[in-house]
Structure 1
């Protein structure tokens, strides 16, 4: 049997290959071994003197430094190593902290108390207290106790806790052009974080996005660094407080993080965690512009980027981390890594990486690798592989922030100001600020005489986003990807349907709700259709082009249906980036870019209706923060391009006071919109559209929508796992209590007749985690009754270690004759009645290059 063991992470490998010439340069410059990883990487050399200077508004306080020195004199090497390591609450317990003196914990996007992303704030404060009390045991007699810092991704409000205020994502806030509003949002976010006992947020993101294919485009405020620069200081001060105030970093304030340093918004092809090939001047003026502002405002932490600059990973770039950020810019806080980002350095693993520390990283984010990293880092500090002066500097920086924030004497989390004040999460003043942000973020793209609507009229409401607060909130909402959320998960939140109903009820108007196919009863005077992108985060949102849902015209057909029936139609588009959708704009009379407005999104409807006097209470003020593409291949389209030809320019936005008609737009997308994906089935931890994942047993079928799901009879469970990057693989567990199945399916079925005739193969990258020799695991292509021949996939596991990834290519013709592949419901169907576990990271159709096999 032929198979290939995979030792490197394929996502990282793809990023390097896709980054072009800069990576070819870096291949030789980055060559270093485990023996010399203490040496800083030299590719992408910087000239610190050309970078701007900055200064902490607090400065180095001799009293604080003396206190730090006293603390460090009482610390053992073990305790110093602990300070520079951060573990995730999903991978450690209070009992662990009795043994390991970690300096910090975090809750990643899918981590929450009791493993429940819907845990109330009371569970968060309870766990914070448990961590605090348990961590005391790791400090022996004579060793000063150093409390934990708990970091959280509160990136658009405190988006981790049900009932908290979820603000519009940053792309929408960029449309407001309102720095003062950013200050208020920062203040509210910090106050709500304190309720659950946390004191540190991984925000704000001050990336400047230059390629809208990037899956994190909505985390940037604008393609124009001027907007980000105008926001950075206000956000930092809103979150942390004024540096000269008594409650700076204390009370209702928390520690902020400027991220991601540096250049993540400008990677080649918009690939997440990819390579930025800009010149040093472009990197400085575009991507680095907001960092001096953040430092001058008192930012206490900076997060290193996953990405590279000119081939060198930022987690290992001494020139940028140490010489520029800490040296030239005078940053005196600490630099934290991103999720196992240190493990992407050449010569490093997630459990061993002196190179990152030596480059200037002060705290490793080691969510699930913290234990091994702690043990190895301690050994390396003991044997001289780690420079103890550099370790001491990292510890000093962390302690400096802990002392400045009052953490050292704050007591347990539940006793701190603002803790367990659950009414804060329902504060009407906070909700009104969020509603203001929603209203100001809406961008009116088109209004050919239909808006504003009368609240006395009959309004048809349609689209899968109309009554879907989860969809309108996007990624990073209660979970990392923001999927699987119900309206009930947002107590007090408002959908677009709620907002429309509120206006019509006040004036005796009427709402007609259409079904999924656009069917309805009654005679509407106008229609409002709410639709858009499904939630995503980070690399799972990366795209190849900017066409909206190529191959899926369901939203377009809905708009065309109403147009053909003579119903004036308003299209509300929920999105994390501008997309080519000229057909949808042509099929509507008004078109609004609503972005991802969050839990108060229903208040966007305040802009759509007149009041009882026939006047408007609110006008559109939002302006495009990103240029809107004329064709789907304008993926890197920015206001300062030499040949700038957008459909709608940066800064565009109509209003009632500044109206304008939009004519018929060209429907030439520049690509074939009819191309339907029948080849890529699974990648980056998710089924590739239009395929879906299901787990099933005799009790029924569950469509997999979240990071953890289970079949109706609990025979099969599936959950996201990491392979080099966060949640890019899936582990499927069969408990053996009955027959279970995992499938990658499509409805309507795919026709793979041509692919079978062309000698294609199903390629998979798989790991057999728990599979005994006698276990039976079949793989088949579901193309109807008695159509496909199941292959014994368990035979491929013979002699393999459970930690080994295997690349397999199985001939499509092994499963069924070409004539039987006209209606393929499931391209990848795993079935077993045994107790076993298997992981997948990539499944697709490939050309058989002679290496594909059959399994008897």
Structure 2
């Protein structure tokens, strides 16, 4: 897959000077690196909060992605709502003008976040003239103002006319913004190309999204013992159960910033494939698929299911709405796992934007998959569940046992995770496993030895 910056902006020509914003034609768009800087290191992970770290830590942990983005020709950088050691990033001249524009020689423009200037003061907007002065002098070039833009214009004019903000600061901002717009060809082609409308949601794009889903899923458990893996699941079974709050809900699959900022629930207003629909279209036509969102244990025990797939997780959220000190799944997720996995062989799929509490329930599960937020293409999930493709994703961060352990990072003295950073299990595809079975199909002692070798190979794959 193409990296995201050249994918959005285009690949700069070989002789193009590194670090200069580049947008390659009308079918490309400006990319934005955000949120500058330290947004992911706030105390207790609270959104818009304070990142307490020395300069060496800030530069070594939080800055490298920005350095790489500038090297690849990123056009814009958005400033974070958060603070660094008590200084609001929207007013941090040392990092915006001194480091980003000075040390890193960034030539694109810097944009505020939504009402970011208002948040410089507490309570927000309590001294807006000061906030405008502090932000523009810090080096912000373009300001995102959804409502009170006339107030901003009046205040900025007043401050400039009063010589509080020098004209060369305004000239710098205008030069940067115009430079990116000229690079985009925005003056030659100011409107969108409507001939590209049919590309939105095209099958080619959905196929790419489906591939991204199956590559991102992480297999965390596969069988109650290493010698008895559950996945891949058989497509042909008399009767299977699909359960859980997230099994038939595209809104939950997509998460926040879908249709609206905080996402949505349900399958209306968006085209896609829920995990339930994906299962129904993947299994053999003779397999009966029964869906119950919250079945009781008697129902599960009395229906003779071959296996069950339970899909649970978080509801959608964005930004501060996602702050949580408990990191628990949506009720009745835990009881669904208990009722189903205590009664039949089960695979649990977790839909979430981050690790959540699963340790109390994991012993009852036969298999566990972290599916993150797979979006509209539920078939990417069944591609790996049923072995058309193998699991290949690995954990992008440590999965804790209990929230009491947090914060917890690799190298900490108390590092004792449920699943460590980078953890993954793998499976061969059905085709791979069939090939191994065929190659092992010899008689006598050699057949027995071949079977043992094949089993060991699968176990090694699971461990590594």
**TM-score, normalised with respect to structure 2:** 0.84
Deviations 1:658-677 (A, max 9, x none): 54899xxxxxxxxxxxxxxx
The residue that corresponds to 1:452 in the other structure is 232
- Displacement, 1:239? 0.6
CA distance in structure 1 between the partners assigned to 2:401 and 2:360 by the alignment? 12
1:544 pairs with one of 315, 325, 331 = 325
The residue that corresponds to 2:41 in the other structure is 266
Q: Is the 8 A contact 2:240 2:288 kept in 1?
A: yes
CA distance in structure 2 between the partners assigned to 1:454 and 1:334 by the alignment? 54
- Displacement, 1:366? 1.2
The residue that corresponds to 1:592 in the other structure is 369
The residue that corresponds to 1:526 in the other structure is 307
CA distance in structure 2 between the partners assigned to 1:563 and 1:424 by the alignment? 42
The residue that corresponds to 1:852 in the other structure is none
The SS at the match of 2:311 is strand
Q: Is the 8 A contact 1:574 1:595 kept in 2?
A: yes
CA distance in structure 1 between the partners assigned to 2:78 and 2:240 by the alignment? 47
2:155 pairs with one of 348, 351, 376 = 376
The residue that corresponds to 1:136 in the other structure is none
- Displacement, 1:642? 4.1
- Displacement, 1:355? 1.0
- Displacement, 1:548? 4.1
- Displacement, 1:329? 0.3
- Displacement, 1:452? 1.6
CA distance in structure 1 between the partners assigned to 2:23 and 2:169 by the alignment? 28
Q: Is the 8 A contact 1:499 1:606 kept in 2?
A: no
Q: List gaps (5 residues or longer) in structure 2.
A: 17-21, 224-228, 429-457
- Displacement, 1:345? 2.0
1:605 pairs with one of 370, 379, 382 = 382
Q: Is the 8 A contact 1:469 1:599 kept in 2?
A: yes
Considering fraction of residues, name the structure with more strand. 1
2:419 pairs with one of 648, 654, 657 = 648
1:488 is the counterpart of 2:257: no
- Displacement, 1:630? 2.0
The residue that corresponds to 2:4 in the other structure is 235
Deviations 1:748-799 (A, max 9, x none): xxxxxxxxxxxxxxxxxxxxxxxxxxxxxxxxxxxxxxxxxxxxxxxxxxxx
The residue that corresponds to 2:133 in the other structure is 354
The SS at the match of 2:312 is strand
- Displacement, 1:351? 4.6
The 1:248–1:661 alpha-carbon spacing in structure 2 relative to 1, beyond 3 Å, is closer
CA distance in structure 1 between the partners assigned to 2:378 and 2:248 by the alignment? 10
1:511 pairs with one of 275, 280, 289 = 289
The residue that corresponds to 1:571 in the other structure is 348
- Displacement, 1:588? 1.3
Deviations 1:43-85 (A, max 9, x none): xxxxxxxxxxxxxxxxxxxxxxxxxxxxxxxxxxxxxxxxxxx
The residue that corresponds to 1:363 in the other structure is 142
The residue that corresponds to 1:295 in the other structure is 70
The 1:547–1:252 alpha-carbon spacing in structure 2 relative to 1, beyond 3 Å, is same
1:403 is the counterpart of 2:171: no
CA distance in structure 1 between the partners assigned to 2:419 and 2:337 by the alignment? 21
Alignment length, in residue pairs?
A: 414
The SS at the match of 2:33 is strand
Q: List gaps (5 residues or longer) in structure 1.
A: 1-180, 184-233, 610-615, 663-856
CA distance in structure 2 between the partners assigned to 1:522 and 1:277 by the alignment? 55
2:399 pairs with one of 628, 638, 654 = 628
CA distance in structure 1 between the partners assigned to 2:34 and 2:176 by the alignment? 18
Deviations 1:150-191 (A, max 9, x none): xxxxxxxxxxxxxxxxxxxxxxxxxxxxxxx2x2xxxxxxxx
The SS at the match of 1:409 is coil
**TM-score, normalised with respect to structure 1:** 0.47
- Displacement, 1:502? 0.8
CA distance in structure 2 between the partners assigned to 1:570 and 1:525 by the alignment? 12
Deviations 1:207-259 (A, max 9, x none): xxxxxxxxxxxxxxxxxxxxxxxxxxx21111100122899342211000001
Q: Is the 8 A contact 2:399 2:421 kept in 1?
A: yes
Q: Is the 8 A contact 1:512 1:524 kept in 2?
A: no
The 1:443–1:515 alpha-carbon spacing in structure 2 relative to 1, beyond 3 Å, is closer
Alignment root-mean-square deviation, CA: 2.2
The SS at the match of 1:302 is strand
- Displacement, 1:580? 2.2
User: Counterparts in 2 of 1:151-162, with a 5 A limit?
Assistant: none
- Displacement, 1:377? 1.2
Q: Is the 8 A contact 2:91 2:134 kept in 1?
A: yes
The SS at the match of 2:268 is helix
- Displacement, 1:270? 0.9
CA distance in structure 2 between the partners assigned to 1:595 and 1:453 by the alignment? 20
- Displacement, 1:476? 0.9
CA distance in structure 1 between the partners assigned to 2:397 and 2:293 by the alignment? 33
The residue that corresponds to 2:260 in the other structure is 479
The residue that corresponds to 1:324 in the other structure is 99
CA distance in structure 1 between the partners assigned to 2:391 and 2:108 by the alignment? 40
Considering fraction of residues, name the structure with more helix. 2
The residue that corresponds to 1:315 in the other structure is 90
Deviations 1:424-463 (A, max 9, x none): 0242221111011000111111111322211111210111
The residue that corresponds to 1:535 in the other structure is 316
- Displacement, 1:390? 0.6
1:244 pairs with one of 3, 6, 13 = 13
Q: Is the 8 A contact 1:654 1:660 kept in 2?
A: no
- Displacement, 1:507? 4.7
CA distance in structure 1 between the partners assigned to 2:394 and 2:327 by the alignment? 20
The 1:466–1:322 alpha-carbon spacing in structure 2 relative to 1, beyond 3 Å, is same
- Displacement, 1:346? 4.1
Deviations 1:363-387 (A, max 9, x none): 1111112121112212222232322
Q: Is the 8 A contact 1:455 1:507 kept in 2?
A: no
Q: Is the 8 A contact 1:474 1:596 kept in 2?
A: yes
Deviates more, 1:620-629 or 1:636-645: 636-645
CA distance in structure 2 between the partners assigned to 1:600 and 1:531 by the alignment? 17
